[in-house]
Amino acid sequence: MRCSFSEARLDAFLEGELAPRDRALVAAHVETCEACASLLTELRVIDALLITPRTLEPAPNFTFKVMAEVRCLPQPHVHRVPTLAVLGTYVVFAWATIGAFLIFARATARATLATIEAWLVHAGATAGSIASAVEHVFGRQSVGLTAAMAGLLAADVAAAVAVVLLYAFLRARRTVGAAEGEPC
């Protein structure tokens, strides 16, 4: 029997999954072949190592040591996008594009402006019909109701802005406090 036949079946031999005839052939070959016997011994050792569970316990102060090292690391650089500059660039580019469109595409620009005007007139008529429907449902108080809803919306927006500003302020103070209190 060749070693290639035996080597391919050594795992199944260890697991007891070979047919009786093949098991006998592999056992006979391992008894006569030093290389296959050595490989079988290595596979038994590896199986024994894999079967025995190992539990690794971290050092007693592992978390403390890791956190101390993390605190000593330099602050990561956060790339911030200058929002006002991006917004300004967008507005300038948009108006320049609109101006160039109006200058260089006169006939198309007139047609586009006429389409926009017709759309606005249609939107105004739609808004008027919605307003009359609202007045029909809520009566003459629809203007007051609309004003109250606008006031609530403005209060919600103001509260959201206040929360964002408060978060930014507290985060900046916390970052400065953490940077000053570190022993690194």
Domain segments of the chain as ranges: 3-51, 86-158
Interatomic CA distance for residues 96 and 56, integer angstroms: 66
Interatomic CA distance for residues 162 and 59, integer angstroms: 46
11 Cα distance to chain centroid: 43
What is the mean pLDDT, run by run of 10 residues, along the chain of 184 residues?
80 86 88 88 84 79 88 82 85 86 78 85 80 73 70 85 88 72 54
Helix (H, G, I), strand (E, B) or coil at 131: helix
Residue where the block lists tokens 């019909």: 129
Q: Burial, 39: exposed, middle or buried (Cβ in 10 Å; 0-12, 13-18, 19+)?
A: middle
**pLDDT computed for residue 180 by the predictor:** 64
For residue 71, report the phi and psi dihedrals to the nearest 5 degrees: -65, -30
Write the CB contacts of 39 (distance below 8 Å, at least 6 apart in sequence).
Answer: 7, 10
**pLDDT computed for residue 181 by the predictor:** 59
Residue where the block lists tokens 């403005």: 154
